[in-house]
Structure 1
Amino acid sequence: MTLSNEQKKAYRAIGHSLNPIVMIAGNGLSEGVIDELNRALDDHELIKVKLAVGDREVKKAVIAEMIKICSATLVQQIGNTALLLRRNPKANPNLSNLNR
């Protein structure tokens, strides 16, 4: 899914106040991490992910793999933090970061 600049700006504004839900350490993407990413994206739709995997190239590769596996969209990446979006039409309004 491609986002317009206005949509990215709105999602970044929402994401600014969010805390990272998932932390990815040096091991990269294990099956447990992928399961947690999918659960968090289903529940919250817009999440922050903290990466502690190494240099820039490794970080870019992990983010690209994460987006591909989870069918998410990268809204923004700053330093070690990525903001991911995956719309869920059946999201719980009490958990979704987009409906607040």
Structure 2
Amino acid sequence: MLTSKQRAYLRSLAVNEDTILMMGKSGMSPELVKQADDALEKRELIKGRVLPESSPMTSREAAEAIAQETGSDVVQVIGSRFVLYRKKKKDPKIVLPR
């Protein structure tokens, strides 16, 4: 569980991140979950997007579903974009404030 200070810090880091996860008309597929899991293991912080015209889920629903499947935390959801965070098990790069 993230504190509001930690969320604010992660939001500031996410501004510079590229959107690497896209959810379209196929919705939550095992491939999408695997892609998110691999990206979280490599980067710790990822930005995703839901294509609102074709996706069966809202961005909030998608972010929470992916977070639950991957064991990550939802940092923020704005419009069709969302940010997820999961600390690396070995050698974490992001140090959260207390």
**TM-score bracket, shorter-length normalisation:** 0.7 to 0.9
In the superposition, the TM-score normalised over structure 1's length comes to 0.81
Q: Which ranges of 4 or more aligned residues in structure 1 deviate by more than 4 Å?
A: none
CA drift of 1:53 comes to 4.5
Shift of residue 62, structure 1, vs aligned partner:
2.2
For structure 1, the 5+ residue unaligned runs are: none
Give the aligned partner of residue 84 of structure 1.
84
Question: Counterpart in 2 of 1:24?
Answer: 23
The answer to whether the 8 Å contact 1:41/1:85 transfers is yes
- Give, in whole Å, the separation in 2 of the partners of 1:25 and 1:58: 9
Give secondary structure in 2 for the equivalent of 1:58. coil
Q: Distance in 1 between matches of 2:45 and 2:3?
A: 16
How much does 1:31 deviate? 1.3
Residue 8 of structure 2 corresponds to: 9
Q: 1:54 offset after TM fit, Å? A: 5.0
Q: 1:66 to 1:53 in 2, by over 3 A?
A: farther
Deviations 1:37-68 (A, max 9, x none): 1100000000001111559x931322221111
Q: Identify the residue that residue 69 of structure 2 maps to in structure 1.
A: 69
Q: How many residues align?
A: 93
Q: What is the Cα-based RMSD across aligned positions, in Å?
A: 2.1
Q: Show structure 2 runs of 5+ residues with no match.
A: none
Counterpart-to-counterpart distance in 2, 1:86 and 1:70: 8
Amino acid at match of 1:80: S
Identity level (%)? 23
State the alpha-carbon separation in 2 of the partners of residues 58 and 32 from structure 1: 16
